[in-house]
Structure 1
Amino acid sequence: MRRPTKDTARGARKISRRALIVGGLQAGFMGVLALRMRYMQVEEADKFRLLAEENRVNIRLIPPARGEIFDRNGQPIAVNQPSYRITLTREDAGDVDEVIARLSHLIELDEEELNRAMTELRRTSPFFPVTIADKVSWSDVTQIAVNAPALPGVTPEVGLTRTYPMGSDFAHVIGYVGPVSDYDLEKIEAPDQLLFIPRFQIGKVGLESKLEDELRGKAGARRVEVNHVGREMRELDRREGIQGQNLQLTIDHELQNYVQARLDGESAAAVVMDVHNGDLLAIASAPTFDPNLFVRGISVSDYKALTENKYRPLAAKSVQGIYPPGSTFKMVVALAGLDEGIIGPEDTYYCPGHLEVSGRRFHCWKRAGHGHMNVESSLRESCDVFYYELALELGIEKISAMARKMGLGERFDIPMSAVASGLTPTKEWKRRARDAEWVIGDTVNSAIGQGFVLASPLQLAVMTARIASGRAVSPRLIKTIEGIEQTSGDGESLGLNENHLRQVRKAMFAVSNNRRGTAYGSRIIAEGMRMAGKTGTSQVRNITAAERAAGVRSNADLPWERRDHALFVDFAPYDDPRIAVAVIIEHGGGGSSAAAPVARDITLQALYGEDPPLDAYPTKDRGRIEALQEKLRKYRPDAKTDGSSRA
């Protein structure tokens, strides 16, 4: 049946409208798409070009060479040496265990280092090289090169490693570097991206740590093309880093070496300081250790040997150790008494061998007493009662004020680890720190450098330098940074009466050069080289009344850790002071018998710049000194013997 013409026309119009709507929608969609494509290709072109470039190109950091460290004469102390290492890339190796097994047949692999490497291999990207063996020899490299086809993923590389050519001589000063640890990163608020490079090394202790920013340098960078999984395809360009700044110390490596050798076998410390500018010419602690052991990570057995040694070889006793200064503190009390006008040079106190204070008897080291003593004789013979009496008139506040003026109780700003401030006590300090009131017995104990008074060997050297110079000399360890001279340690005048200083210096001269002086046995007899010094012995145990009545036990009869500390300080030459020296022998016994001979030898070595002539020593000592010099030369293969002296 044929549809009517009217219905056909209506259907055609309906189809036309639908086609028009669909066509319009399609045209609109295509228009929007075209506009979006134009926006992305034209307006956003730079943005997408940058994104594409970033996906294709990576920036890799290049570690800078670490700044090197030299002594005052330009001798290297901490340097960077080329070293060969073996790396393994897990992606190229295939069966890692099999490759390492083959490698172990060719070269010796350290088990601890290999275990660290395996851990690192598991947690790093498969295409990132990991060090398997460090500091390998050239023969090991050639062995690997010859067998390269059997060692897929194994690559010999050359890099720089920190080395300490002086070994243990500067361990407590320089410290050492080591790989960055998680603990290191936690301590840094905004860590440098360099620190995330595997096995990147930073200073851990000592000067290496304190001047890390100066020594580290600035990273370089290289732009590399990588594929979609991050594997490096080729290097596009490179910008080398900036080496860290080189440092020159004030220390003389020959003198430092001698001091370490002279302290060998003791738990001790010594400081040698220029009295004019504060330069530290030697600053040593014994026993010491080899910092090279720490550079790549010390073994458990080596570390255990260091930490279980009762002499504490890891401690920088010269700056960290604080001890009762004993009778070396008497110069401070004498100066305070003279400065306050409480005593004059010829004024005396009587010493019967003890002093009764508040029902307690304070003894002098000389049981029978010294009789009438003035400033010079009291220092010369180290009378305790003289200083008990003087301290009671002075009071602790004036004593501590003079001690601070002489450099005690001050934390000096030198770049070594854990520099101690010591303690010059006051009444307020005791209330705050001990929640107790100051008593008169505290003052009496402080008078002879016992009780609460504490000082480091560095501070005692500063005290001695200030007495010798009359100036507020401060210690300086860094001579130059990148060739730029650093601020001198010479200070302003102490403002003390020169006659009072002269009186104390004269008394110190008598200590070493008068037959009744406590250090007469360790005197220097060479003209123009004589020293002025002071012995000190600080107790580490209480002596009971019963023991004193029965007779005080000698140090030789006591266990090592209960023996007294032995101290000695000096400056020389007396007529024209150049150096100040401080020595402490832990649990060494008496200052005159244990510390004074060591300080005398160090003083002469510093003055002459070589083994001093035997005629600088008393005749009775020359045979022993000659044998000692011969023994110490074994520690100092480069020691000068041509008779020249350092200016």
Structure 2
Amino acid sequence: MKRVTEQNREQLFSRRMMLVGGLQATFGAALIARLGYLSISQNKYYQTLAEDNRVQMIIVPPRRGWIVDRHGAPIAINQSAFRVDAIPDQMDKENIDRELDLLTQLLDIDPEERQRIRDEIMSKSGYRPVQVADNIPYDQYAAVTVRLPELPGIEPMRGFRRFYPAGPAVGHLVGYVGAASREEYEAEDNNPLLVTPGFKIGKEGLEETLEKRLRGQPGGQRVELTARGRLVRELEPKPDRSGGTVQLALDAGLHEFAARRMGLESGACIVLDCLTGEILAMASMPAYDPNSFSDGIGRTEWRLLSENERRPLVNKTLNALYPPGSTLKPMASLALQGQGIDPEERVFCPGGYQLGNRFFRCLGKHGSVDMNRAIAKSCNTYFYAMGHRVGYDVIADMARKLTLGATYDLPVVSQSYGTIPDSEWKMRKYDRPWTSADTLNAIIGQGYVILNPLQLAVMSGRIASGRAIDPKLVGVHPKPAPLLDIPTQHLDVARRGMWQVVNGDGTAGASRLPLDGIEMGGKTGTAQVRRLSSGDGRNVPWKYRDHGLFIGFAPVDKPRFAVSVVIEHGMGGSRAAAPVARDVLTYLYDREKAMASLEQMEEQWGGSLKQRTAAFHQHVLDVANANAAPSPTPSEGDGA
């Protein structure tokens, strides 16, 4: 009995040993399998994690792509620049105030900026730099460099800054660059490139709309760090890739000339190739200098500029709307001929047109006029009578055929397309029927009609060439646009009338081209801002004076270039706008003559465009610093 019990115990013990051994073997096998999985299958993953703990990539911002004109002349380029950054983990935090005091002395850092730098250094860690100063002069860069033994963690660096050779002449066209805002950073899923010191993105104009093409691909500098983030050594760099060069249809020389010719007048000048639609010049004045804006301006200065009555922050070629006045009369002549009106039919002008109990005045008493004469002398009475006969809806159809009131496929931030009204539009907007008085106002470019200067230039180009041009800003497009479905004889009538405006006894006779064998056709316009009791507007404040407009083309015998000019409160197209168009078109055929004339004007005005723009902005800055309201700028004698 005893032997049986011992035998049972031995069997029980053996079974337990086998169970424990099996469990141990199973656990050991699982452990070995897990180790094998981690060391073999997951080797690359954990090697990458270890590498990330040991190696850090410092982003190197890419160089921004250039913007050049149709001939390859630079419009927006990069220049060498100097900057100073701080590496928080390489700085002696106990002596940070001593370092900042020295940097403040060397770099002229103001107290507010010094506090910003200190806060960022104390809050950040690792090898990510903190910007101390950007775009500093070489003498300050050299001063920091020779004092580096006293400035541990401070890194003076060479980089690039955006530079615009033409300065304010291209401000509205290309915009400027600046540091990314919080919203822009979040919109790109917290892209670390956007918060890299020294990196800037497009803020307005082509710099903003062409950002993807201009930005390029960032590079990087790989550095080996300790577990505490201290630099051990620099590893092989990854080169950046510069952004692409963008070629514009623009002629940079012509564009700058147009901007200089307008000076600090408030307005716009556009020149198109009326065969292809290429935009050769697109100047809006007065403008800001994008070189200054890229370095940053204060909020007060920005506010004062935005509130200035001459609106230097508004791109008037696209975002300003004006009653076009009599510049629409050549377009109206096409619509009238399309309704069967004989251009030789005459209307007697006694100084206006009687509609019911209201007398609509004309610019003069022109007597008996036909269509050509009505365009040449800008006779409102003729167009009142004919517009009343055919109705405005058919004229609105022709206006739209010439792209008035349209938006264009252009790489711009925004464009205001204005209004070409008709009976349906008025009923929809005001719930009132169209009236005959509305027709009389609209046919002479007043009433509900408002347009931007680019639309007027395209209209002029379509009338001049008879082609369905659309404006093009990027690239060179040598192929002519297709022909419009407007009879050539109708276009010839409008062109002859526009020839008489300048070369006959029309309203712009003083603006003939000073060139042998080359003539300009055109049409002046005056857009009323406020009804004046008497006189030509010289005795009223600038902001209440009439706008001056002009559209034109040259040469008359074989049209190639179309132009539109708007001078805000210029008191008439023949007085203010037509001379600008004359000089701009002269530049296309005789640059020396045009430049000589311009230099004489700038001498009378008191300096070049860059000098006067700088003085204008300095005035605003002085007012901002004095914390006072801005005074009127510039003087009434400035500009065209």
C-alpha distance 196-137 of structure 1, shift in aligned 2 (>3 A): closer
Q: Aligned ranges for residues 473-488 of structure 1 at < 5 Å? A: 473-479=469-475, 486-487=476-477
Instruction: Report how far residue 432 of structure 1 moved.
Output: 2.6
Is 1:40 paired with 2:34?
yes
Find 1:384's aligned residue among 374, 377, 380. Answer: 380
In structure 2, how many angstroms separate the alpha carbons of the residues matched to 1:318 and 1:119?
A: 44
Is 1:70 paired with 2:68?
yes
| Equivalent position of 1:591 in the other structure | 573
| Equivalent position of 1:509 in the other structure | 499
Which string of whole-angstrom CA distances, capped at 9 and with x for unpartnered residues, describes residues 513-537 of structure 1?
Answer: 123x111122235322221111100
Find 2:519's aligned residue among 505, 530, 545. Answer: 530
Is 1:436 paired with 2:432?
yes
Q: Aligned ranges for residues 17-96 of structure 1 at < 5 Å? A: 23=17, 26-44=20-38, 45-57=40-52, 58-93=56-91, 94-95=93-94, 96=96
C-alpha distance 170-625 of structure 1, shift in aligned 2 (>3 A): closer
C-alpha distance 328-191 of structure 1, shift in aligned 2 (>3 A): farther
2:284 aligned counterpart, secondary structure = strand
The alignment-based identity, stated in percent, is: 37
Structure 2: stretches of 5+ with no match in the other structure: 611-640
1:566 aligned counterpart, secondary structure = strand
In structure 2, how many angstroms separate the alpha carbons of the residues matched to 1:591 and 1:67?
A: 40
Q: Aligned ranges for residues 181-196 of structure 1 at < 5 Å? A: 181-185=181-185, 188=187, 194-196=193-195
Instruction: Report how far residue 487 of structure 1 moved.
Output: 4.3
Q: Which moved more, 1:60-69 or 1:149-158?
A: 60-69
Instruction: Report how far residue 221 of structure 1 moved.
Output: 4.6
Which string of whole-angstrom CA distances, capped at 9 and with x for unpartnered residues, describes residues 273-321 of structure 1?
Answer: 2222222221111111111122232233542442232101111101211
Instruction: Report how far residue 121 of structure 1 moved.
Output: 3.5
In structure 2, how many angstroms separate the alpha carbons of the residues matched to 1:112 and 1:442?
A: 59
Q: Is the 8 A contact 1:268 1:583 kept in 2?
A: yes
In structure 2, how many angstroms separate the alpha carbons of the residues matched to 1:139 and 1:13?
A: 98
In structure 1, how many angstroms separate the alpha carbons of the residues matched to 2:182 and 2:276?
A: 41
In structure 2, how many angstroms separate the alpha carbons of the residues matched to 1:200 and 1:503?
A: 56
C-alpha distance 38-527 of structure 1, shift in aligned 2 (>3 A): same
1:109 aligned counterpart, secondary structure = coil
| Equivalent position of 1:203 in the other structure | 202
In structure 2, how many angstroms separate the alpha carbons of the residues matched to 1:261 and 1:158?
A: 34
1:41 aligned counterpart, secondary structure = helix
Q: Aligned ranges for residues 391-470 of structure 1 at < 5 Å? A: 391-470=387-466
Instruction: Report how far residue 31 of structure 1 moved.
Output: 2.2
| Equivalent position of 2:507 in the other structure | 518
| Equivalent position of 2:267 in the other structure | 268
Q: Is the 8 A contact 1:411 1:422 kept in 2?
A: no
| Equivalent position of 1:493 in the other structure | 483
C-alpha distance 437-185 of structure 1, shift in aligned 2 (>3 A): farther
| Equivalent position of 1:482 in the other structure | none
Q: Is the 8 A contact 1:110 1:133 kept in 2?
A: no
In structure 2, how many angstroms separate the alpha carbons of the residues matched to 1:192 and 1:102?
A: 33
Is 1:171 paired with 2:166?
no
Instruction: Report how far residue 9 of structure 1 moved.
Output: 10
Is 1:560 paired with 2:538?
no
In structure 1, how many angstroms separate the alpha carbons of the residues matched to 2:147 and 2:598?
A: 59
**Could you say what the CA RMSD is over the residues aligned between the two structures, in angstroms?**
2.9
In structure 2, how many angstroms separate the alpha carbons of the residues matched to 1:466 and 1:355?
A: 30
Q: Is the 8 A contact 1:571 1:580 kept in 2?
A: yes
In structure 1, how many angstroms separate the alpha carbons of the residues matched to 2:474 and 2:542?
A: 36
In structure 2, how many angstroms separate the alpha carbons of the residues matched to 1:588 and 1:456?
A: 16
Instruction: Report how far residue 608 of structure 1 moved.
Output: 1.5
Q: Give the letter for the 2:523 counterpart.
A: K
Is 1:601 paired with 2:583?
yes
Instruction: Report how far residue 351 of structure 1 moved.
Output: 1.8
Instruction: Report how far residue 492 of structure 1 moved.
Output: 1.1
C-alpha distance 114-417 of structure 1, shift in aligned 2 (>3 A): farther
Question: What's the TM-score, normalizing by structure 2?
Answer: 0.87
Q: Which moved more, 1:375-384 or 1:419-428?
A: 419-428
In structure 1, how many angstroms separate the alpha carbons of the residues matched to 2:343 and 2:24?
A: 110
Q: Which moved more, 1:75-84 or 1:317-326?
A: 75-84
C-alpha distance 192-433 of structure 1, shift in aligned 2 (>3 A): farther
2:592 aligned counterpart, secondary structure = coil
Which string of whole-angstrom CA distances, capped at 9 and with x for unpartnered residues, describes residues 144-166 of structure 1?
Answer: 23322221211112222212122
Q: Give the letter for the 2:158 counterpart.
A: V
How many residues get paired? 604
Instruction: Report how far residue 567 of structure 1 moved.
Output: 0.5
